[in-house]
Structure 1
């Protein structure tokens, strides 16, 4: 039976083992670098983790109707109407958001009274025209009709309705922050571990391939050493 050295074909296992150890050692400084990283992304990830600290309010299982409206884009566009509908109706958050998309802004009683008393055209304007006119008077006269003040107070009222993140939202936030970290910094712990895992899988595949090759040669009468 012919004798050949397996190392001539795929390299010796001893060499492969050394390469594996060297690769593992090379990941050490990458991991250490990740631990010492003080970039903005690292700080952002740390901030996300701090959200779950004991000092934070207990996370709700699900959000209330008020919260769902308060954090919506529709409420940001029409805060006074959002507060009005939350306080004066029993509509679901979904229906309130639909109305916020379709209806003109809500004007406070103070603003309406001022405009009624001081604008002779007021009674002839439609709702959208009244909003534009109230905004114009506010902008040109130091918010004399209270339009801007009322809008600001509505925004503050909505802020008070916001609730802590749920457990699922916390997990999603931390996951997104980690993804941002890994995309921006190749030396994070996650990235270093991923490279090490890939290297280990590659080495195992190489060893299996070498055994398969050795077996195939043996069946043809040639014994590969090593």
Structure 2
């Protein structure tokens, strides 16, 4: 697996173009090793291609720009203090089963949370990862010719949470958002490295997922 950390706060359009180029590569070579981009975005709201844009509420008063993108789902926020992961891979690895692929992202995030003592899980009928009734990670994927793009956003630091108050996250009325640093007990003494530490752990667990897939395929 090719794991790439993009430094700094990355412009959304720039990273979208990088994903597009990787998708083209994977379409041309279905056996290519998966790519995993890990990063923090400069503040931005995104929404899937849908006529229902009510989850953005009043776009004229949003503090950050909005990007309409080719994934499923309603509005969400990306910004500092949040780990964003974009796996780009051919879904032949998951027998072209999109549900199975999304489920693998959820399970990997849950496993990574558990290493910090956070009991994350799923909620019936809802995509993403939760701690009790609080949402800690959102997932939204796009697929072109069986190659995935977009991925997950894991709230790590408290600074990632206030911008969600301007929208209805994922279109879920009354949803409460949380982050890893708030759920760790006792609270971490040092938060500065938590985004990278969680990202590295996710990458290691994600790698083991693919090793298991290869083993089962043999």
Q: TM-score, normalised by structure 1?
A: 0.19
> As a proportion of its length, which structure holds more strand?
2
Query: Using CA pairs below 8 Å that are at least 6 residues apart, which structure has the higher relative contact order?
Result: 1
TM-score w.r.t. structure 2 length?
0.19
Q: Which one has the bigger helix percentage?
A: 1
- Computing the radius of gyration from Cα coordinates, the structure with the larger value is 1
